[in-house]
């Protein structure tokens, strides 16, 4: 999934969880326009980042955060340094000619 579309899905998921308006996984998939399997994948990816997502019982039928969570995304283009021009790295740095594209998807907690 392209980066910006993926980010939009995380933002949409975050908004629904924050409002406690997700419904069950099938309902959430419908609201987000994705498959139920993708819902489980997104939820698991967030849990892998230690985001405290829980699921209410069948009466409430929604995912929720155990403590406040904020969503932040950073995207920027920076010039490469001399040493960076000589090496290639994977991960969150993408190199294109003489610039690097830096992206970071962050969820963080607040007290």
Nearest to 15 by CA among 65, 66, 73: 65
Question: Between these two residues, 73 and 39, which has the higher pLDDT value?
Answer: 39
How many other β-carbons are positioned within 10 Å of the β-carbon of residue 73?
15
pTM score, whole prediction: 0.68
Domains and CATH numbers, the chain: 3-66 (1.10.10.10), 70-109 (no CATH)
- pLDDT tens for 30-53 read 999 999 999 999 999 889 888 899
Strand, coil or helix: 28: helix
DSSP 8-class letter at 42 = H
């Amino acid at each position: 999934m392209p980066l910006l579309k993926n980010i939009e899905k995380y933002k949409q998921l975050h908004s629904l969880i924050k409002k406690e308006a997700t419904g069950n996984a099938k309902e959430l998939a419908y609201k987000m326009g994705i498959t139920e399997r993708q819902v489980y994948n997104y939820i698991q990816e967030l849990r892998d980042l230690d985001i405290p997502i829980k699921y209410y019982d069948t009466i409430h039928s929604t995912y929720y955060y155990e403590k406040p969570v904020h969503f932040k995304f950073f995207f920027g283009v920076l010039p490469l340094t001399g040493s960076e021009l000589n090496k290639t790295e994977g991960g969150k740095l993408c190199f294109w000619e003489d610039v690097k594209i830096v992206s970071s998807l962050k969820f963080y907690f607040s007290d």
